Amino acid sequence: MDQVKTGALIRKLRVGKGLTQKQLADMINVSDKAVSKWECGGGCPDISLLSALAEIFDTDIQVLLNGRADKNDKENGDMKKLRSYICKQCGNIITASAEASVTCCGSRLSPMTPKKAGEGEQLKVTDAGGEWYITSDHEMTKEHHISFVSYLNDSTMMMFRQYPEWGIDIHIPMYRSGRLVWYCTECGLLYQDIRPARR
User: Is 107 in a helix, a strand, or coil?
Assistant: strand
Q: How many Å apart are CA 154 and CA 176, to the nearest integer? A: 10
Is-contact 161 176, C-beta < 8 A?
no
Contact partners, residue 185, CB within 8 Å, separation at least 6: 143, 144, 145, 146, 147
Q: How many Å apart are CA 22 and CA 32, to the nearest integer? A: 5
Residue 176 CA: distances (Å) to CA of 21, 61, 116, 136, 158: 54, 43, 20, 22, 14
The pTM assigned to this predicted structure is 0.65
- pLDDT value at position 72? 47
- pLDDT value at position 3? 87
- pLDDT value at position 183? 95
Write down the CATH number for the domain with range 3-66.
Answer: 1.10.260.40
Domain 79-194: CATH architecture, name and number where available: Sandwich (2.60)
Q: How many Å apart are CA 103 and CA 125, to the nearest integer? A: 34
- pLDDT value at position 196? 82
Query: How many residues make up the chain in this entry?
Result: 199
Q: What is the chain's pLDDT, residue by residue, as a tens digit (199 residues)?
A: 788 888 999 999 999 999 999 999 999 999 999 999 999 999 889 989 989 998 998 887 888 888 877 654 545 455 667 889 999 889 899 998 877 888 899 888 999 999 999 999 999 999 988 899 999 999 999 999 999 999 998 888 899 999 988 899 999 988 778 999 999 999 999 999 998 876 5
Domain boundaries of the chain, sorted by first residue: 3-66, 79-194
Report the candidate in 163, 2, 114, 96 with the shortest Cα–Cα distance to residue 104. Answer: 96
Is-contact 123 135, C-beta < 8 A?
yes
- pLDDT value at position 71? 58
Phi and psi at 18, nearest 5°, equal 70, 30
